[in-house]
């Protein structure tokens, strides 16, 4: 994930996808989380951690598992081809 994030910050999105297909959504999620935490600090209101600690429903767990499994397969195919 480190090489993929470095490629994103260089502006080379194709190379980042080649390193790890989930690098772009992961980087977007990290940036959103940091901004969300900063807004919580400025407003002195806690909304980020209650959201993170909330339970994930079963359909979303299945969707996340499928996305991770597909990502793993794509990374293997890209790495060994």
pLDDT tens-digit series, residues 7-51: 888 888 888 888 787 888 888 898 999 999 999 999 999 999 999
**Taking the chain, what is the end-to-end CA distance rounded to the nearest angstrom?**
19
Q: Rounded to whole angstroms, how far apart are CA atoms 46 and 53?
A: 12
Write the DSSP assignment of 5-74 as a string of letters.
HHHHHHT-HHHHHHH-TTHHHHHHHHHHHHHHHHHHHHHT---HHHHHHSPPPHHHHHHHHHHHHHHHHH
Provide mean pLDDT across the span 52-79.
87
- pLDDT reported for residue 44: 95
Q: Does pTM top 0.75 for this prediction? A: no
Q: What's the whole-number mean pLDDT along residues 47-57?
A: 91
pLDDT number for residue 41 = 95
């Amino acid at each position: 994930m480190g090489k993929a994030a470095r490629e994103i910050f260089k502006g080379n999105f194709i190379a980042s996808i080649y390193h790890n297909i989930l690098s772009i959504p992961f980087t977007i999620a990290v940036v959103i989380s940091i901004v969300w935490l900063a807004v919580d600090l400025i407003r002195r209101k806690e909304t980020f951690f209650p959201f993170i600690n909330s339970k994930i429903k079963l359909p979303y767990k299945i969707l996340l598992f499928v996305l991770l499994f597909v990502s793993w397969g794509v990374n293997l195919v890209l790495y060994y081809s």
